[in-house]
Structure 1
Amino acid sequence: MKKKTLVIGASLKSNRYSTVSIKRLTMYEHPVVAIGLREGKVSGVDVSVEKEPFKDIDTVTLYINPSRQAPYYDYIITLNPARVIFNPGTENPEFFTLLKENNIDFEVACTLVLLGTNQY
């Protein structure tokens, strides 16, 4: 099943894990939307600098450190994704609690590993 994914912390730099994830997600034919610090395109995916009101988001995958996540709490909860993936370095117990309170699943995992092992 294809899972529409929002990448938060998307970078236009080819050596960043967020960029590799966008490329890999599109390779596996998952619909992808992205938010980053700069507008641009990665593998045909528009990277927005705004918190767009995206619809039908299954998964949010985070590539921003915990100190930068608070402005996204309400936004992500409002999107009501099935899950949030906390990639290495993004783990945030405060946000875990908020997600639990809103019945949103989360995983501390690596999007690239999940895709590569067919567990996405």
Structure 2
Amino acid sequence: MSKKTAILGASPNPMRYAYLAAERLTIHDHPIVPIGIKQGEIFGEKILDLRERPEVKDLDTVTMYIGPKNQVEWEDYIISLLPKRIIFNPGSENPSLEKKAIEKGIKIDHACTLVMLRSKQY
């Protein structure tokens, strides 16, 4: 079953983990919605400008590639996307955002999206 996934911190730089996640999600037939401050396109999808707080419907997952310090101004926006879950990749853990998410019934995973995909746990 495909899971529409927003990649927060998306980047067109192939050396970034967010780029690798976009690649792997695409290979595994999960629709991606790249969102970040970098301009560009990845795997046929335009990177939406995080500063514009783009509306995204029917999200299954938000996978975080933004450090906790840089998440603060986006917390309410992230919650407003109403994903079923948020994956906090290593280094993106944020107790404040996690608490808000849990209060809204959003599942939290402390995991690596790449490992989850590789081990068929996505």
Moved over 3 A (4+): none
Deviation at 1:30, TM superposition (A): 0.4
Which residue does the alignment assign to 1:46?
Answer: 46
Deviation at 1:117, TM superposition (A): 0.4
Give me the CA root mean square deviation. Answer: 0.9
Where in structure 2 are the equivalents of 1:1-120 lying within 5 Å? 1-49=1-49, 50-120=52-122
Secondary structure of the residue aligned to 2:34 is strand
| Range moving further from structure 2, 49-58 or 61-70 | 49-58
Distance 2:9 2:71 in 1: 10
Any idea what the Cα deviations from partners look like across 1:45-66, whole Å, max 9, x if unmatched?
2111132101101000000000
Return 5+ residue gaps in structure 1 as ranges. none
Aligned sequence identity (%): 46
Deviation at 1:101, TM superposition (A): 1.1
Distance 1:71 1:57 in 2: 20
Return 5+ residue gaps in structure 2 as ranges. none
Q: TM-score, normalised by structure 2?
A: 0.94
Q: How many residues align?
A: 120
Secondary structure of the residue aligned to 2:41 is strand
